[in-house]
Structure 1
Amino acid sequence: MPRFVESTKRDPFRNFNFRVLLNNVEVYACRKISGLTGTVEVVKFRAGNNLSSVDELSPGRVHYDTVTLEAGLTNDTSFLDWATQLIRHEATPGLRAVEPEYRRTVEILVYDLDQNKPVKKFILHNAWVSKFTAMSELAAEANEILVSIVELQHEGFTSEPVA
């Protein structure tokens, strides 16, 4: 009976060692990030003269799901400033942020178990904040940390090699 020997160890990466960078600066100590999902719509077509009852299927538009970041509330305002950039100026006509200012590159780095080096890098392209929760619910009997939540819209993501 043939025996298969694996030449390299291939343990999957853990989901708890990660960092988020905004325009190449680490700014957000996240506790949770939703998954990165891209979907291609299915376009069904059937010609009127086709004798088959089976639809032809073609790829349609691509859609990327919203990415949600949850983080403990701190005194660092760099991410908060970006998260509220569109909201703050909405009430004042003519002062809303211009497009290049509110779209950012967001990098998600996944680290090895020892947190010494990144092993995976995902980049969200042209991301902007569509929803912001400044802080989680307050409760006198609670024992949790305060959390802020942002929902990001983006125009796709890529996985890039880690240097």
Structure 2
Amino acid sequence: MATRKDPYVNFNFLVEIDGIVRAAFHEAGGLDSSIDVIEHREGGENITMRKLPGQVKYSNISLKWGMSDDLDLYAWHRQWAEGDPAAARKNGSIVLLDRQGQEKARWNFFNAWPAKWTGPSFNAEANDVAIEALELAHESIVRA
């Protein structure tokens, strides 16, 4: 009899960015890519269009986390916003963990830089955690 394998839950993950490791992210997304379709008609072949693969495009990775005293991701964004020559692109990973905290899947992204930072929204009538967000533009993502 086959052993039942339950799917992994999406709330147990961590993010690594060149040495910055955080397990306290609220949300991580944007793990997708698409390939442009180039339609091409060949001479003498008037019935159908040929479809060829074009450029690969990657969506920005979006990260959201509860605001704290930790300013490392914000400082990285400020370096880029201020044109600091020391600002560096970074590689990173989004790691899916099982219920026991063991790594089950990993998506590695390359040459990322912070394209957008969003600060928290405030509401005196709410009872929510203050959330910061960062969008990372990158050049490639690979499931390892």
Give TM-score, length-normalised by structure 2.
Answer: 0.91
User: What RMSD over aligned residues (CA atoms) do the two structures have, in Å?
Assistant: 1.6
Tell me, yes or no, if structure 1 residue 24 matches structure 2 residue 8.
no
Residue equivalent to 2:85:
97
Q: Which amino acid counterpart does residue 110 of structure 1 have in structure 2?
A: L
Tell me, yes or no, if structure 1 residue 120 matches structure 2 residue 108.
no
C-alpha contact 1:124 1:158 (8 A) present in aligned 2 = yes
Q: Which amino acid counterpart does residue 130 of structure 2 have in structure 1?
A: L
Shift of 1:28: 6.2
CA distance in 2, matches of 1:65, 1:132: 16
Give TM-score, length-normalised by structure 1.
Answer: 0.81
Residue equivalent to 1:76:
70
C-alpha contact 2:30 2:60 (8 A) present in aligned 1 = no
SS at match of 2:45: coil
Among all aligned residue pairs of Structure 1 and Structure 2, give the percentage whose two residues are the same amino acid: 27
Q: Size of the alignment, in residue pairs?
A: 144
Shift of 1:146: 0.6
User: Given the superposition, is the C-alpha separation of residues 128 and 22 from structure 1 closer, same or farther in structure 2, using an over 3 Å criterion?
Assistant: same
- C-alpha distance after superposition, 1:50-94 (max 9, x if no partner): 231x2100111000011111110010112221122211x14xxxx
Structure 2: state its 5+ residue gaps: none
Residue equivalent to 1:46:
41
Residue equivalent to 1:93:
none
Residue equivalent to 2:6:
11
SS at match of 2:73: helix
SS at match of 2:116: strand
Residue equivalent to 1:132:
117
Structure 1: state its 5+ residue gaps: 91-95
